[in-house]
Amino acid sequence: MNCLARRFIRYAEIDTRSDPASFSFPSTPGQTDLLKLLRDELLEMGVEGVHLEQGGILYGSVPGGEEGVTIGLIAHVDTAPAVSGHGVRPVVHREWDGSPIHIAEGVVLDPGECPQMEPYRGGAIITSDGKTLLGADDKAGAAIIMEAVRRMLGNPGTKRPRIVVAFTSDEEIGRGMDNFSTARFGADFAYTVDGEQPGSVDSATFNACRADWRITGIEVHPGSACGRLVNPVRIAAELISMLKPEEMPENSSGEEGFEYPMEVSGDTEAAAVQMIIRDFTTEGLAARVHRMHSLHRFLSEKHDRAVIELEIRNQYSNPRDTLRADRRLVDYAMLGTERAGITPTETSIRGGTDGSRLSFMGVPTVNLPTGGGLFHSRREWLAVQGLEKSLEVLLNTIFVWGENLDG
């Protein structure tokens, strides 16, 4: 394995699963463990201004670079809370022949369901052992940035802009930018390295909200419940049944939005429903939020003896409009992709990154690839060739900036 893949595997083995129920920063101690490892490696490479804040953000400035513009590189260290990240054991499937990969009993990576794998036939595919996710989202991005820093420092004669880096925590639970300081970061523009396949330059994300429902009923023994019992579980089921099935994630694609009930819990006393709401336009998101409030009014009137509460919180916004004022972030990444021998496509990511919020904090940000897929699942995979190409795209993009510092 090359040094880039080995670096990724070293990071992947650290449990950095984030925890939405935690009130600490970062939400889990494993994230701090990886941030400290990255800090030590940056210091060893000679990166300047290395600083790890208690809020779970690691900053650094790469020596050298021309004056004029500062480009930031960002990756997050946490993994999604939905799947275990404890005891990750990366497995390298060398000389993959294109057939389904049996990761574990009942866990099969079928290329027929994942055509993005086809270009990597004959190469190496990394998965977990099937008991956990792999963590390519976004430890592959962290590995790419660290290797890019190492190579830039090893080639000081190459013209490039000033480069700063940041590694964030708790991105998967929407807190990646909560403690982020744009002043300490010091970037004019930034790239998150948090995408999937080389060729994609993600310039748009969803606008995102979270909707938390809490339903309190009246608990009565079922034998004497007639006219008295108010069952919050049934109200929760009624709420979910009123959502449009054609606008669920499993039935939408491209730039179609959705309303997604992610978690349901409850008993005869109280029930809770956690949803996320997504749309690529601000008008579309506003309409979906309005629908949530309409459902709340309807259910509250229908079940007037229950207490039905709805809390809606903004999570992140689509940076597309902020990028229209200055197209260099996108155009230079497209050219960097071309120079890696890949046809570039400006794309929308059906999710969000730290860059979604950072763009609205005054640092326009575009998302670049990592070479993996099926994130947040036990079938998550990373192609070694895709990892290498993603690094090539990133470095090429930086050097395109260097060529145009006077322009």
Catalytic-role residue among 147, 171, 196, 279:
171
301: region left, alpha or beta (phi > 0 left; psi from -120 to 50 alpha)? alpha
Q: Give the active site residue among 15, 78, 172, 279.
A: 78
Annotation marks residue 354 as catalytic? no
Q: Which of 302, 306, 227 is nearest to 268 (CA)?
A: 306
What sign has the CA pseudo-torsion 277, 282, 283, 284? negative
Instruction: Compute CA 367 distance to the chain's CA centroid, rounded to the nearest angstrom.
Output: 10
Strand order across the 161-168 sheet = 48-52, 58-62, 161-168, 66-76, 189-193, 365-368, 200-204, 345-348
Dihedral pair phi/psi, residue 403, rounded to 5°:
-70, -20
**CA–CA dist 374, 382 (Å, integer):** 9
- Is 194 catalytic? The answer is no
Beta partners for residue 214, in sequence order: 272, 309
Amino acid at 205: T
Query: DSSP readout, 278-292?
Result: EESSHHHHHHHHHHH
The tokens describing 78, both together, are: 């946490």
Provide the b/e sequence for 295-326 (b: ≥16 CB within 10 Å): bbeebbeebeebebebebeebbbbbeebbeee
* Helices and strands, counts by H and E, the chain: 10, 18
Catalytic (active-site) positions: 78, 171
